[in-house]
Amino acid sequence: MNRPDKAEELFRKGYNCSQSVFAAFADELGMSAEEAAKIASPFGAGFGKLREVCGAVSGMTLAAGYLKGYDDPADYEGKKALYALIQKMCAEFKEREGTIICRDLLGLKEGEDPAEPSVRTEEYYQSRPCIGACRAAAEIAEKYLL
């Protein structure tokens, strides 16, 4: 199964956007899907349901950090390269999806969304762009990270 299909499958199982994208790369990250899901869990719904940066984008950038990141605070070139990579990946996502902001993808105004997570039904999946966002983020991550 390719990464976009895996991200969609995980989202349809009930994982949030960030978990779905990050866990689709769990094998490359050297961790279980459950470990990846736990790490990415607070970034769903635009960062804890604040509807800021799309969770799929967060999952994509978490994977980039894990696979291409730096760990030496003095590594200026590593930081510069990572930030350039993230900007390129986010620009591609924005070009494809129109924005990297969750509330904009969903057509919501700030504070308009209820605090509770939505119940997943087929109507939910049909009414939201989340599966497409997860697929796009996984495709972009696969393109730039593997």
Dump pLDDT digits (tens) for 44-103.
999 999 999 999 999 999 999 999 999 999 999 999 999 999 999 999 999 999 999 999
Q: Does 115 have pLDDT greater than 80?
A: no
Q: What is the pLDDT of residue 85?
A: 98
Q: What is the pLDDT of residue 65?
A: 98
Q: Does 124 have pLDDT greater than 80?
A: yes
Q: Please, which pLDDT band fits residue 112 given cuts at 50, 70 and 90?
A: confident
Question: ∠ CA(53), CA(54), CA(58), 5° rounding?
Answer: 80
Contact 62, 40 (CB under 8 A): yes
Tell which residue, 75, 64, 66, 84, has the closest CA to residue 137. 64
**Residues 134-140: what's their mean pLDDT?**
98
Q: What is the pLDDT of residue 110?
A: 84
Q: What is the pLDDT of residue 114?
A: 80
Q: Please, which pLDDT band fits residue 29 given cuts at 50, 70 and 90?
A: very high
User: What is the Cα–Cα distance from 26 to 41, expressed in whole angstroms?
Assistant: 14
Residue position matching structure tokens 């509807």: 51
User: What is the Cα–Cα distance from 77 to 139, expressed in whole angstroms?
Assistant: 26
**Residues 9-26: what's their mean pLDDT?**
98
